Structure 1
């Protein structure tokens, strides 16, 4: 019981510290990185207070919901880089709304930990959402995604400006034939079985 109380106090302190930092920025916040304890309410507070955010990183923020991210996406018109790692977010509606609301988005990282996933079924939902709405991406990282060759082809067709593509731990992909030639187009291509270092995980 004492451990849980201590954890809750720690999370509450982090929330207060983040809000104070946002307040002190006086609306000039450009780059923010939040780990573990971001909530829909905190994300809304940040985006209500800061209209010029260009880079947003959410790492292990399991309390962010699809509805919460969708609600704030329209408040991020200048967003250029977005990283969402190890979350419960899905393709619908969050990724479509982000893509439609953030026309300047150039870098998107949407990562999962394959080795901890309870559901390994194939799914191209994320890939199709990205392909349909994020046409100006230059850098895409989809580590641990469940996309198949069809999803990858949709991304290559829908995102013609891609310069780097990270597909590590995307084990449903079979990169042969025409898809095997995507290395000729992508300057930096990282394949499913390439290792992920401890610093990156």
Structure 2
């Protein structure tokens, strides 16, 4: 009976997940399985904690059925190396990959990055096992990358005196010159690291560094980048129960 209960729960979850995907496909375009497997968006569903054990099987099923034709994959909280390996094996057409809150590590990035020839947008926010080396490997292999999200939690900002706090900034600056969109909210990098990015990424159009407490805006020379939209780095207290609206920085 217990096995039957588990199967029933699994069967109930599949339609819900597929429904989220199908909602992104216009019925006028023909919502065939082949069509919607080009874009897999499970972000909302995967952020629900009720059935975390069913996340990997659903992603495995959908990625396998795509037969390497995925252009977009959005899913939060992936935890197994086998899923990253499967994604890598089916990533030849992948352009947008959003995998925040996942267990992606530097080692797995080494296995994955070389198989992402078409990737142009990557979200690895809140991936605590990923570091500067992984980002460097990413930048060196994914030469078409134009968008990167590397937001962190305010309580994961690290030691303000840690000499390595700009390592990720240096990795981005040295390997991702084509970036147009960059998000590093609540990151621990300093004004020096941010300035390196600004100088090394001349195509940058949007830069979110909200909550980067180590960054002093006055040291960035933002007036030199008049076409750049910047958010932050005004700090905020995430524990005070008050919502502070984002403010666009005046760079004139």
| TM value normalised by structure 2 | 0.68
Larger Rg: 2
Indicate conservation of the 8 Å contact 1:70/1:93, yes or no: no
Q: 2 CA distance for matches of 1:90 and 1:177?
A: 28
Structure 1: 4+ residue segments shifted above 4 A: 194-198
Which one of the candidate residues 112, 136, 145 is aligned to 2:152?
A: 112
Q: 2 CA distance for matches of 1:20 and 1:90?
A: 26
Which one of the candidate residues 127, 130, 137 is aligned to 2:172?
A: 130
Q: In terms of mean alpha carbon deviation, does 38-47 or 138-147 score higher?
A: 38-47
Q: Using CA pairs below 8 Å that are at least 6 residues apart, which structure has the higher relative contact order?
A: 1
SS in 2 for 1:29: coil
User: What residue in structure 1 maps to residue 209 of structure 2?
Assistant: 167
SS in 2 for 1:184: coil
Which one of the candidate residues 74, 82, 86 is aligned to 2:126?
A: 86
Greater share of residues in strand = 1
- Shift in alpha-carbon separation, 1:48–1:82, aligned structure 2, 3 A: same
Q: In terms of mean alpha carbon deviation, does 103-112 or 20-29 score higher?
A: 20-29
Q: 1 CA distance for matches of 2:200 and 2:123?
A: 20
1:151-190 paired onto structure 2 within 5 Å: 151-176=193-218, 179-182=221-224, 184-186=226-228, 188-190=229-231
Indicate conservation of the 8 Å contact 1:183/1:189, yes or no: no
Q: 2 CA distance for matches of 1:172 and 1:11?
A: 35
Q: 2 CA distance for matches of 1:190 and 1:21?
A: 36
1:100 equivalent to 2:144? Answer: no
Q: List gaps (5 residues or longer) in structure 2.
A: 1-49, 247-252
User: What residue in structure 1 maps to residue 88 of structure 2?
Assistant: 47
Post-superposition shift, 1:183? 5.4
Q: 2 CA distance for matches of 1:164 and 1:178?
A: 15
SS in 2 for 1:105: coil
User: What residue in structure 2 maps to residue 150 of structure 1?
Assistant: 192
Indicate conservation of the 8 Å contact 1:90/1:126, yes or no: no
Q: In terms of mean alpha carbon deviation, does 119-128 or 176-185 score higher?
A: 176-185
The number of equivalent residue pairs is: 189
1:23 equivalent to 2:64? Answer: yes
Which one of the candidate residues 71, 80, 104 is aligned to 1:64?
A: 104
Q: 1 CA distance for matches of 2:172 and 2:234?
A: 23
Indicate conservation of the 8 Å contact 1:145/1:169, yes or no: yes
Post-superposition shift, 1:180? 4.0
